């Protein structure tokens, strides 16, 4: 991504996260990016095109970072724990991007349907890691697609939990959160005494 596009990317995420999709304007994005409106239109024809670009590029960056970190691990459980850690770290570092994704995930407009497709592609990445765990008999046999959606949902909920508690100025221990999340997901919450 060239410097100007990166500047627009960062500014657009901030504008969409602050104003929502409907409240964001090309003028706002150009102003926040510190570029002329003509420069903005040179790179993007519309607000819709900018939105699609930030979603595609942002999710690709997340997927690449996760794959790089997870693929270094050989153990299936360590891969899932690493996935949790990297996912949580990335969301905390990119809160505004996470807000844009979560705010636009529901609905029937084309951009929302396309966004769901991007998220679904990410969930397929998770599913692949879970399938390996099932094949190696580290994880119980089951529906890897449902497991991946469950894992994704738990990650999103954990991130919301973490963000809410950070806003309360409470100390959040990431390692403890990741350990607890993976234990809940992989071992269950039932006390098997």
pLDDT at 36 (0 to 100)? 94
Regarding predicted confidence, which is higher, 139 or 28?
Answer: 28
Instruction: Identify the three-state secondary structure at position 168.
Output: coil
How far apart, in whole angstroms, are the C-alpha atoms of residue 93 and residue 83? 15
Q: Of the candidates 23, 54, 25, 21, which has an alpha carbon nearest to the alpha carbon of residue 37?
A: 25
84 in Cβ contact with 181 (< 8 Å): yes
Q: Is 46 left (phi over 0), alpha (psi -120 to 50) or beta?
A: beta
| Model pLDDT for residues 3-35, shown as the tens digit of each residue | 899 999 999 999 999 998 899 999 999 999 999
| Model pLDDT for residues 34-86, shown as the tens digit of each residue | 999 999 999 999 999 999 899 888 888 888 988 999 899 988 888 888 888 88
The full set of domains in the chain, from first to last, is 1-45 (1.10.10.60), 52-187 (1.10.357.10)
Evaluate the CA torsion angle 79, 82, 86, 87 in order and state its sign.
positive
Tell me the C-alpha to C-alpha distance, in Å, between residue 53 and each of 56, 106, 132.
5, 18, 32
pTM of the model: 0.79
Model confidence at 183, pLDDT cuts 50, 70, 90, reads confident
Average pLDDT over residues 115-130: 88
94 in Cβ contact with 58 (< 8 Å): yes
148 in Cβ contact with 126 (< 8 Å): yes
Is 70 exceeded by the pLDDT of residue 2? yes
């Amino acid at each position: 991504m060239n410097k100007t596009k990166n500047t627009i990317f960062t500014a657009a995420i901030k504008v969409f996260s602050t104003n929502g999709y409907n409240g964001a304007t090309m003028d706002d994005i150009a102003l926040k990016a510190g570029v002329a409106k003509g420069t903005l239109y040179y790179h993007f024809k519309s607000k819709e095109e900018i939105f699609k670009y930030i979603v595609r590029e942002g999710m690709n960056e997340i997927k690449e970072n996760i794959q790089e970190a997870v693929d270094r691990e050989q153990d299936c459980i360590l891969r899932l724990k690493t996935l949790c850690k990297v996912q949580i770290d990335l969301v905390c570092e990119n809160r505004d991007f996470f807000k844009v994704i979560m705010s636009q995930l529901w609905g029937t407009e084309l951009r929302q349907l396309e966004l769901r497709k991007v998220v679904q592609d990410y969930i397929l990445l998770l599913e692949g890691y879970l399938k390996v765990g099932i094949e190696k008999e580290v994880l119980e046999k089951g529906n890897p697609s449902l497991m991946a959606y469950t894992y994704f949902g738990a990650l999103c909920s954990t991130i919301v939990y973490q963000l809410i508690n950070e806003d309360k100025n409470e100390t959040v221990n990431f390692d403890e959160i990741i350990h607890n999340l993976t234990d809940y997901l992989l071992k269950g919450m039932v006390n098997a005494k």
